[in-house]
Structure 1
């Protein structure tokens, strides 16, 4: 299993792909440890900006539109311009403020569907994180509450369909099992 320092070193050993910066996408299965890995990598790279793509989803059924939202954020950054994304407010169940991201040396996107093939040309390093379904479901319900079980079961099916369509795991540079 690759450590956070190995993930960072692998990205830094590659040429910049996001304008003058680098992009690490930490994709994989819900509840597998993507957020934890992203935070650990960012601790080693204080210049890094981390965006959890859960905040870019239009609710529980927002996976189909995520790739386009991320692409719209990344293309300006690749041109050296400020990118923008709109945050989903999970409590209010609606779109909230728009956030700016200025070009920088390292952007880390973490979340299910964070590495769509439509912007492969901008990805410096794609990391896939996985764990068995039972473990992931238990982690998700511990975080979100047992009342979210129906949402989680639908989500697990949605993410499977997305990753099969995108062939994400096969495109990964590094695969980590937690």
Structure 2
């Protein structure tokens, strides 16, 4: 049985693709890549089919990751049935996701903030959008994503147990 995780930001060209690439890497390192599948999307459709932002790709490449396979997609209500866990990068994305929830409602814990797994997250549980900033913003997002992803992978055995 495959556990499916969806990562969602606004345009699916910066934050969620960075998280997707890093989570795929961490799952492979943990030997969980055969049990967990990752996808990413954006709540807006402006960039559908495009690769990730060149600055996001550069920060990933510089850190030793391969950003080349990403193509932007749009989140839709179908993703609720297709994924066991949907993680939003910020509160606006979370609201957009919840607005598309099926009439029957959401399962408890089905939709969460991505940084719910960040051991350093306190009052601010959002991943800031680096789009309007410089390279430092993308590096900061990568560090936040790596830390959060490590926390998520640490919790996956529990999440996988709960799925059974």
Return the TM-score normalized by structure 2. 0.30
Higher-Rg member (1/2): 1
Return the TM-score normalized by structure 1. 0.28
Question: Counting helix residues as a fraction of each chain, which structure ranks higher?
Answer: 1
